Amino acid sequence: MTSYGTLGVAVIGTGRMGADHVRRINEVISGARVAAVVDLDEARVKTVADGIDGCTPYTDPAAAMADPGVDAVLIASPGPAHEAALLGAFARDLPVLCEKPLTPDPASALRVLEAERALGHRRVQVGFMRRYDADYRALKSLLDRGTYGRPLMLHNKHRNADTPPGFTNAMMIHDSVVHEIDVTRWLLDEEITAVRVLRPAPTGNAPEGLSDPQLILFETAGGQVVDTELFVNCGFGYQVGCEAVCEGGTARIGDDHGVFVNTGGRWGGAITPGFVERFEDAYDRQVQHWVDATRRGEVEGPSCWDGYAAAAVCAAGVRAQETGERVAVELIERPALYR
């Protein structure tokens, strides 16, 4: 594989995440520059490109990937557009950082995985950014070292202040729980084998039709049980946490950061408003890690296998939501490229 000097990146999709990644590449991390930006919204993409030296705006991802200044692609369009962008990048053998989800369903994720296998080498890092968060890394290192013995259970919480318009029950799995699916597989180094979903009476703050909160249960191949409280209209801020219960003790991350005060007979601190603030360092480290590995001609981090496995668990999760039953996860055998 090629190694690179300053990496020329095409950012596909310049909405909330894409525009933030453009800023990150230009102002925060080193070793890369934004050579092209792409969005179906012509006015938006021109505004984003304006003021960035040597950055060309495009409305067609294929045209951007053919730009001679482009060495690598960061995909931040909505999930359903990822497959076409990934296959376009593979056609030019370009390295990719793809925002989660790899694709929204197992069939399309498998097509992407097979297309990468046909190249004979990994090209994709999937944007499961919690693997780059300092707290999650500390917890992972405790579990890997066996500091508290064998992990038996994880208790996750995932709370958002509110949901954007059009957020559905299925998106609660695909968009939100997908992060717990990835951290569960990563922290425990086990595949998830079955999913159940319990739906308590919803909060009055949820939009009509949204079953919020939900309690999601995973079983793993190693016999562990993992629960996730997902509450996406909690109203008070952004909270993500995980407690690992092991044979010899427990370890918990995700109690809010920042200044914690005791005053006037009360104690407390601020609650993080959203994922951009909570995971800012993780997004920075994720993109820096991708740029550094790519410049060395390597591909690391969450793979197409991780993206496919997450999509398979999401599909089981949506089915479990609909039926109220325990749904087994179906996976193909793990190909050698991803072992």
Ligand X SMILES: NC(=O)c1ccc[n+]([C@@H]2O[C@H](COP(=O)([O-])OP(=O)(O)OC[C@H]3O[C@@H](n4cnc5c(N)ncnc54)[C@H](O)[C@@H]3O)[C@@H](O)[C@H]2O)c1
Judged by the rule CB under 6 A, the positions of this chain that interact with ligand INS are 160, 175-176, 179, 232, 275
3 state DSSP class of 208: coil
Question: Which listed option, ligand X, ligand INS, none, makes contact with residue 44 (CB within 5 to 8 Å by class)?
Answer: ligand X
- Selected from 61, 254, 301, 317, the binder of ligand X by CB under 6 A is 61
Which range in 76-84, 136-144, 165-173, 201-209 contacts ligand X by CB under 6 A? 76-84
CA atoms of 333 and 192, how far apart (whole Å): 14
Other CB atoms within a 10 A radius of the CB of residue 339 amount to: 6
- Selected from 34, 55, 76, 299, the binder of ligand X by CB under 6 A is 76
By C-alpha distance, which of 309, 278, 301 is closest to 193?
309
CA atoms of 74 and 57, how far apart (whole Å): 14
Taking the CA of residue 305 as centre, how many other CA atoms within 13 Å lie in the half-sphere pointing to its CB?
Answer: 17
- Selected from 77, 211, 220, 321, the binder of ligand X by CB under 6 A is 77
Give the CA distances from residue 40 to residues 26, 53, 68, 71, 297, in Å, rounded to whole numbers and listed in that order: 22, 21, 21, 21, 30
DSSP 8-state assignment for residue 60: -
Residue 99 interacts with ligand X (CB under 6 A): yes or no: yes
Minimum CB separation of residue 285 from ligand X in Å reads 13
What sign results for the dihedral spanned by CA atoms 313, 318, 319, 324? positive
* CB nearer ligand X, residue 100 or residue 157: 100
Other CB atoms within a 10 A radius of the CB of residue 284 amount to: 15
Which range in 71-79, 153-161, 248-256, 262-270 contacts ligand X by CB under 6 A? 71-79
Residue 49 interacts with ligand X (CB under 6 A): yes or no: no
Question: Which listed option, ligand INS, ligand X, none, makes contact with residue 12 (CB within 5 to 8 Å by class)?
Answer: ligand X
- Selected from 116, 135, 175, 180, the binder of ligand X by CB under 6 A is 175
CA atoms of 103 and 307, how far apart (whole Å): 7
Residue 152 interacts with ligand X (CB under 6 A): yes or no: no
* CB nearer ligand X, residue 15 or residue 237: 15
Binding residues for ligand X, per CB under 6 A?
A: 12-18, 38-41, 44, 61, 76-79, 81, 99-100, 127, 129, 175, 275, 279
